[in-house]
Amino acid sequence: LDAMAAVKLNVFHMHLTEDQMFGIESKVYPRLTTVGAEGNFYTQENIKEIIAYADQRGIRIVPEFDVPGHCTAMLKAYPQLAAVPRDYELQRYYGVFDPALDVTKPYTYAFLDTLFTEMTALFPDEYFHIGGDENTGKDWDRNPAIKAYMQQKGMTTYRQLETEFISRLLPIIKKNGKKMMGWDEIL
């Protein structure tokens, strides 16, 4: 943050979740950090201190919570969210992986609504980044129930399913007073 301020950069895109870990404390879903981060995470108090420190330097913090892909850590903690039931392990290297949320289950949206309501309250910035990038669609293709859902809805590609998912997330983010943003794939 000091280096950013020195060169007059004023937006810190804080990537908090990934296949490798869920990096911020959730008091509502504690397994996200006890299991999905193996205890290595920012507490909510840490985040408040970081935001205050950044604010003193004129820096905004835009958090990113990556869904529906890049969520192996989330699926290790809460496997009932997964498109494919399996034993999930945190990734030990970077790349694009197949695990994805089952975006056809009402439970997934209830979970994300609760989680994002908790997380948006921590960050004062008007933007909330949902990632949306590099979902391979392979785990969706492996799940017969998801394939049937897509067929019932007339969807022929996993991108159409992801578009529906993003459009269902938008009201959750908006009701929490934020503007949703993501990587170019969400377009």
Peptide bond into 63 cis (omega under 30): no
Asked, as a colleague might, if the bond just before 144 is cis with ω within 30 of 0, I would say no
DSSP state of 82: B
Catalytic residue among 118, 134, 164, 185: 134
Is residue 182 a contact partner of residue 127, using CB atoms and an 8 Å limit? no
Q: Is 89 an annotated catalytic residue?
A: no
Backbone phi and psi for residue 161, each to the nearest 5 degrees, phi listed first: -65, -40
Task: For residues 162 and 130, give the distance between their C-alpha atoms in angstroms, rounded to a whole number.
Answer: 12
CA–CA separation, 169 vs 67, rounded Å? 10
Residues annotated catalytic, as ranges: 134
